[in-house]
Amino acid sequence: MYIPYNQSGLFMKPTPPPPQLPYSSTSMASTHADHSDAAPANFIIFGEMGVGKSSLVNLIAGKRLATASSGAASCTLDSTQYNIRLPDSQREVNLYDTAGLNEPSMNSATYVDAAAKAYELIVSLQENGGIHGLIFCIRGGRISDTVQKNYSLFYEVLCQKQVPISLVFTNLENEEGDMDNWWTKNQAHVEKSGIASAAHACITTTKGYQDVYEKRYLESRKKVLKMLHELVYGTACPVDAHSWCARVFQKLRQLLAPGKVPWVVGKSRAKLMQVLMKRCKLRKEDAMELLRRMEEKV
Does 150 have pLDDT greater than 80?
yes
E strand map for 88-212: 92-98, 133-139, 165-170, 199-202
Task: Give yes or no for residue 168 having a pLDDT over 80.
Answer: yes
pLDDT surpassing 70 at residue 177: yes
231, 250: one domain: no
Asked if pLDDT for residue 79 goes beyond 90, the answer is no
% of the chain exceeding 90 in pLDDT: 36
Same domain, 123 and 214: yes
Report which of residues 180 and 159 the model is more confident about. 180
- 204 and 220 share one domain: yes
Is the per-residue pLDDT at 253 higher than 50?
A: no
- The verdict on 57 and 26 lying in the same domain is yes
Q: What's the pLDDT score for residue 114?
A: 58
Same domain for 257 and 170, yes or no, is: no
* Bigger pLDDT: 178 vs 232: 178
Average pLDDT, the chain: 75
Q: For residue 51, what is the domain's CATH number?
A: 3.40.50.300
157 and 287, same structural domain?
no
Which of 195, 212, 238 is the last residue in one of the domains? 238
- Burial tier of 234 (Cβ tally within 10 Å: 0-12, 13-18, 19+): middle
What residue spans of 42-98 are helical by DSSP H? 53-61
Range of the domain at 147: 3-238
Q: Are residues 138 and 200 in the same domain?
A: yes
175 and 206 Cβ atoms separated by less than 8 Å: no
| Same domain membership, residue 266 and residue 213 | no
Under the banding of pLDDT at 50, 70 and 90, the label for residue 237 is: confident
How far apart (Å, rounded) are the C-alpha atoms in residues 161 and 175?
A: 31
Residues 76 and 174 in one domain: yes
Could you give the CA distance from residue 245 to residue 167 in angstroms, rounded to a whole number? Answer: 27
Q: Is the pLDDT of residue 2 over 80?
A: no
Asked if residue 130 has pLDDT above 50, the reply is yes
Split into its structural domains, the chain has a count of 2
Residue ending a domain, among 238, 257, 279, is 238
Q: At 272, is the pLDDT very low, low, confident or very high (cuts 50, 70, 90)?
A: low
What band does 104 get if pLDDT is binned at 50, 70 and 90?
low
Q: What is the pLDDT of residue 270?
A: 74
Q: Is residue 157 a contact partner of residue 119, using CB atoms and an 8 Å limit?
A: no
Percent of the chain with pLDDT over 70: 62
At residue 235, the pLDDT reads 82
For residue 259, pLDDT over 60 is answered with no
